[in-house]
Amino acid sequence: MFDLDGTLVDSVPDLAVAVDEMLVEMGFSPVGEDKTKLWIGNGIPVLVRRALRDAGCSEEIVSFDSDAFTKARDAFDRAYDKSCGSFSVVYPGVRESLSKLHELGIKLAVITNKSERFTGGLLAHLEIDQYFSMVVCGDTLPERKPDPTPLIHVMDHFDVEPDCALMVGDSRHDVAAARAAGVACVAVPYGYNHGEPIMNSSPDGLVSTLAELVGE
Ligand SMILES: O=C(O)COP(=O)(O)O
Ligand SMILES: [Mg+2]
């Protein structure tokens, strides 16, 4: 079970473009990639909320059902519809490892907190969609990572026990979801973990690239 943003795909350039367009449309200054990177990991609504909070918006405004939040979310979605895939690239080792695991007949799934609206198109655009038998997004189920439900959903679907499954991710939410699902988690150090080293979350293993995961 692979996380997407920060594990398979370096998606921050396109997310930052959309965050900045949203901020400008809402009358705020753009913030760029470095700040956006710190806010990725809990799905798009939370990303938009963190950007608005950083711009000085009150808790009333950043509430998910406020009119201002709805407007900001709509601005983000329109901007990300255009930017998603423009500058995003797969990390080194991703294609080789997915292809090798696929050839070995191992069932592969994506478990991301990114919304469904953007995920399928991005996987197809980067030509890695063919490797995955299942994709669970941040809005596919009522719960998302760090809740274990998406992992349990995938394991139930494939009739796989937790000790025969593996989660591969870049953030503490991947480690927490895996732990709660009783699944081992291997982490990559190059992604977006809110600016913290992923080793702080004590994953079960660490690989510098996904090539290392398949022994390359
Ligand atoms: O959309 C996000 O915030 C993060 O997505 P991820 O779960 O693929 O890292
Ligand atoms: Mg991630």
Residue corresponding to tokens 């983000």: 76
- pLDDT higher than threshold 90 for residue 117: yes
From the list 3, 10, 14, 174, the catalytic residue is 3
Nearest atom in ligand 1 to the alpha carbon of residue 115 is 1
- 61, exposed or middle or buried, with CB in 10 Å at 0-12, 13-18, 19+? middle
206 — pLDDT class (breaks 50, 70, 90)? very high
107 — pLDDT class (breaks 50, 70, 90)? very high
Binding site feature residues: 3, 5, 170
pTM of full prediction above 0.90 = yes
**What CATH number matches the domain at 88-213, 3.40.50.1000, 3.30.450.20, 1.10.1060.10, 3.40.30.10?**
3.40.50.1000
12-83 and 88-213 share one CATH topology? no
| Predicted local distance difference test score (pLDDT) of residue 30 | 98
Q: What is the DSSP string of 82-150?
A: HHTTTS-EEPTTHHHHHHHHHHTT---EEE-SS-HHHHHHHHHHTT-GGG-SEEE-TTTSS--TTSSHH
- pLDDT higher than threshold 90 for residue 216: no
Q: Give the residues surrounding ligand 1 with Cβ less than 6 Å away.
A: 3-6, 40-44, 47, 112-114, 138, 145, 171
Question: From the CA of 113, how far away is ligand 1's center (Å)?
Answer: 4
Average pLDDT on 83-108 reads 97
Question: From the CA of 30, how far away is ligand 2's center (Å)?
Answer: 23
pLDDT tens digits along 153-201: 999 999 999 999 999 999 999 999 999 999 999 999 999 999 999 999 9
129 — pLDDT class (breaks 50, 70, 90)? very high
How high is the mean pLDDT of the chain?
A: 97
pLDDT tens digits along 71-81: 999 999 999 99
Hey, which of 3, 141, 144 would you mutate to test ligand 1's pocket, going by the most ligand atoms within 8 Å of its Cβ? 3
Q: Which ligand approaches the C-alpha of residue 145 most closely?
A: 1
Question: From the CA of 168, how far away is ligand 2's center (Å)?
Answer: 9
Domain residue ranges of the chain, discontinuous segments joined by +: 12-83, 88-213
Average pLDDT on 112-128 reads 98
- pLDDT higher than threshold 80 for residue 134: yes
| Predicted local distance difference test score (pLDDT) of residue 36 | 98
81-108: string of b/e by CB count within 10 Å (b at 16+)?
eebbbeebebbebbbebbebbeeeeebb
Binding site feature residues for Mg(2+): 3, 5, 170
pLDDT tens digits along 9-59: 999 999 999 999 999 999 999 999 999 999 999 999 999 999 999 999 999
Tell me whether residue 3 is one of the annotated catalytic residues.
Answer: yes
Q: Any idea which fold 12-83 has?
A: DNA polymerase; domain 1 (1.10.150)
